[in-house]
Amino acid sequence: MSTKPVNRPQRPEWFKIRLHTNDEYKLVNHLVTTLNLHTVCQEARCPNIYECWGQGTATFMILGDVCTRHCGFCSVMKGKPGRVDPLEPEHVAEAIATLKLKYAVITSVDRDDLPDEGAGHFAQVIAAVRRRTPECMVEVLIPDFNGRRELLDVVLDARPVCLAHNIETASHLYRRVRPVAVYENTLKILENSVLYREQHGVDLKVKCGIMVGLGETMEQLLDTLRDIALTGCDILTVGQYLPPKKAALPLDRYYTLEEFAHIKSEGLKMGFKHVESGPLVRSSYHAKHQVDSLQTSACK
């Protein structure tokens, strides 16, 4: 019995990834392996891993490599996570110190199985990095904590320079793409982060990311971006969805460079202070540049 071939969108000629495995890449890879760390660069099969690791930067993924959610776009393992490694904060801090990073991004899997959903562990990692490398700025890319404000505050009390939380996809696709997540919880995380900044008078940047090419229309995408903008979010990242494995949700289409430019233009009109929009853009891609650009603008 013959199987009908699946029609997949053809990758554009301009969509190319350069592979570089220089000494910096090898050093990051060695540290991650030696210290038993996980990086979202590997787990999410990020197309920018060679560029970022080649520049001596990485996004560390804490709280294990098994997620309690079942998002259709993700390659991270799903199931029952193991115990939290109490040595992980110091190991992450050691890696950051060894790499002499000036900016580090910390993210995690979802840990709905934990009473605090991992918020306390985030705070411990930030504190450990500050002890070892006080000049290093720390950005956190957090899960939604099921919309619980008190857990968000645990992380924000540790004073990251940037709080990132990704909405991932257009609102009408949530049931298919993020079946366990709640669209409103993401908006609540962003809104409460902005509110925390105002109430505590801290220099905190708030960031959100979304993927395109999962089946949304441009109108639906822009409607979702307006929802994000209304929270007071500062930074928006928009990148092309690329299925990380065969079992992941299929790619609907590739966006053109002109469409990415249009999204950036519309995002800036909505009030975002910085919009990173392009095929290979990911939330942590050029993260330091995004925050630096806002600090530079504020000084003018």
Q: How confident is the model over 57-81, as pLDDT tens digits?
A: 567 889 988 999 988 888 778 899 9
What structural domains does the chain harbor? 23-109+117-299 (3.20.20.70)
Q: What tens digit of pLDDT does each residue of 5-39 get?
A: 456 677 776 655 554 554 555 655 565 566 555 54
The pLDDT, as a whole number, for residue 23 is: 55
Which one-letter amino acid corresponds to residue 248?
A: A
pTM, two decimals, is 0.84
Determine the 3-state secondary structure of 128 from DSSP: helix
C-alpha span between 184 and 188 (Å, rounded) = 6
CB 268 within 8 A of CB 276: no
Residues sharing a CB contact under 8 Å with residue 250, sequence separation 6 or more, in sequence order: 6, 8, 243
Q: What tens digit of pLDDT does each residue of 239-252 get?
A: 999 888 888 899 99
Identify which has the larger pLDDT, 26 or 275.
275
C-alpha span between 13 and 279 (Å, rounded) = 12
The pLDDT, as a whole number, for residue 42 is: 45
The pLDDT, as a whole number, for residue 14 is: 60
> What number of other Cβ atoms are within 10 A of residue 179's Cβ?
11
